[in-house]
Amino acid sequence: MTMTHPSHPAVLLAADAVGDVIEYWGFRKALGRVWAVLYLWDGPLSAGDIGERLQMSAGAVSMALTELQRWAVVKRVWLPGERREFFEAEVDLWKMIAKVISERERYLARGVRERLEQAKRMVEESGGGVKGQREKLEKLVSVAQLAEHVIEAFIQSRMADFSTFTGALSGAGEGSAKARKVRLETGRKR
Amino acid sequence: MTMTHPSHPAVLLAADAVGDVIEYWGFRKALGRVWAVLYLWDGPLSAGDIGERLQMSAGAVSMALTELQRWAVVKRVWLPGERREFFEAEVDLWKMIAKVISERERYLARGVRERLEQAKRMVEESGGGVKGQREKLEKLVSVAQLAEHVIEAFIQSRMADFSTFTGALSGAGEGSAKARKVRLETGRKR
DNA sequence: TTGAACTTTCAAAAGTTTCTGAAGATTCAA
DNA sequence: TTGAATCTTCAGAAACTTTTGAAAGTTCAA
């Protein structure tokens, strides 16, 4: 076994914190950690570098990078004279969260409302159901409808807040000389 | 094995939908299902009743009821002449979600900010760290601080929205004659 | 007291998610 | 082409979560 060397403890600590944020929003913790290591490193890193720093297997790194690229929060970078692919963090991690959350919430709200409506219909068809049950189902349905509207409103305001975050992560300090020399390329296939 | 009889399919469907909502917010699905069965049944139910309707083991029902009472969304009800304890749903399920979510978000945001701050300090102490790293950590910290404020603001507006939900679930149709006769009692010990 | 009816607790089973590691695919220099 | 370096995929391992079921605990009527 070759000796691997993990990252500076401070980077690991920060990466883990970002991992927790990401996990809270329903992604795998590993995605947040990988993003954080890329963000904190001043320049592109290869998959191997990331695996070493975070002590993750090649497979896990590959899967994390694929998913992060799918969300467009990590970009592929080609360095002349390098066989390996390199990766860099996009600063708009928050965009990813906002995008997915809104989709997920919409999907959940819709599915819940539909099932409640179906349940209501079933009770009605089977002769009104037990006393009070129909009224209760009607209430649940109306709450679900209400929730759908509230979610739409939330999503709007959330979007605004997330864009604030995005601004805060970019700006001064961006791009080292080394990084600037690089020819950029965004993921294509898939 | 005694033959058990699950609830009307419509109730199971609705219960499952509520379970998904609850699960989305980080509780066990079973909690939502138990709450929904209690809410949809016009009157108190015993733990055994619930287990039968949802085809859950006695242990799972007991654990779910304990947790739901801890969140004060299910109340214990004593029926004269009954040995068993009975349970009823409180209509403010949303209060539970709001309460917990705000606590969880606050806790997460605080923990993340603190860890990022510590990481920043560590990098500073170890001589500035790699180029650009310190600045990036400063940015992450400021995003975390910003997030803490945004969360506080969210929580306020969310609370307002949740109270709307609560209103929609209560009101007309509440309390059967049977339920009214009952002497109420809220959980004590623990 | 005793025992029947019911509830709670908790170790182990079952279920779910995530990660590892190795085989196969890909890329590129020679 | 060939082979060395690197990446991807995926079956199984590991880690984590939830449920079961049986034993211990409670309560109450007799």
Q: Given an 8 Å threshold on Cβ–Cβ distance, is B42 in contact with A142?
A: no
pLDDT tens-place string over residues A27-44:
999 999 999 999 999 889
Q: Can you give the pLDDT of all 190 residues of chain B as single tens digits?
A: 334 566 688 999 999 999 999 988 889 999 999 999 999 998 899 999 999 999 999 999 999 999 999 888 999 988 887 888 999 998 877 777 777 778 888 888 999 999 999 999 999 888 766 778 889 899 999 888 888 887 787 777 766 666 777 777 775 444 433 333 322 222 222 2
The partner residue sitting opposite B176, judged by closest CB among A14, A132, A154, is A132
CATH of domain B9-91+171-184: 1.10.10.10
Indicate yes or no: CB of B111 within 8 angstroms of CB of A39: no
Structure-token pair, residue A1? 């076994």
pLDDT in tens, A147-182: 888 777 777 776 666 677 777 777 544 443 333 333
Task: Say which of A41, A129, A150 has its CB closest to residue B161.
Answer: A150
pLDDT of residue B175: 42
Our measurement of CA B35 to C1' C27, in angstroms, reads 57
CATH class of the domain comprising A9-90: mainly alpha
Chain A environment of B172 (Cβ under 8 Å): 135
Give the amino acid at B109.
Answer: A
DSSP for chain A, written as a single string: -----PPPHHHHHHHHHHHHHHHHTTS-HHHHHHHHHHHHSSS-EEHHHHHHHHT--HHHHHHHHHHHHHTTSEEEEE-TT-SS-EEEE-S-HHHHHHHHHHHHHHHHHHHHHHHHHHHHHHHHHTTT-STTHHHHHHHHHHHHHHHHHHHHHHHHHHHHHHHHHHHHHSSTT---HHHHTSEE------
pLDDT (mean) for A121-133: 81
Chain B positions in Cβ-Cβ contact with residue A124 (cut-off 8 Å) = none
Distance B66 CA to D12 C1' (A): 38
Q: What are the chain A neighbours of B169 within 8 Å (beta carbons)?
A: 139-140, 143
B74 DSSP assignment? E
Nearest to B169 among A108, A111, A139 (CB): A139
Q: Alpha-carbon distance B62 to B66, whole Å?
A: 6
Number of neighbours of residue B83 by Cβ within 10 angstroms:
6
* Structure-block tokens of residue B163: 């109270």
Nearest to A147 among B39, B130, B165 (CB): B165
CA atoms within 13 A on the CB side of A77: 22
Which residues from chain B sit within 8 angstroms of residue A159, using beta carbons? none
User: Is the CB of A63 less than 7 A from some atom of nucleic acid strand C?
Assistant: yes
Given a contact cutoff of 8 angstroms between Cβ atoms, the answer to whether B19 and B8 are in contact is no
Confidence of residue A129 (pLDDT cuts 50, 70, 90): low
Q: Do A8 and B108 touch (CB under 8 A)?
A: no
Query: Residue B17: its chain A contacts at CB < 8 A?
Result: 111-112, 115-116, 119, 144
Phi–psi pair at A119, nearest 5 degrees: -60, -40
pLDDT the model gives residue A66: 94
C1’ C19 / CA B171, Å:
50
- Please, which residues bridge with residue A77 across strands? A86, A184
**Strands A45-46 and A86-89, how do they pair?**
antiparallel
Sequence ranges of the domains in chain B: 9-91+171-184, 93-167
| Beta-bridge mates of residue B46 | B86
CB within 8 Å: A10 and B157? no
Pairwise CB contact (< 8 Å): A39 & B129: no
Strands (E) in B69-130, as ranges, are 74-78, 86-89
Nearest nucleotide from residue A19 CA, by C1' atom: C18
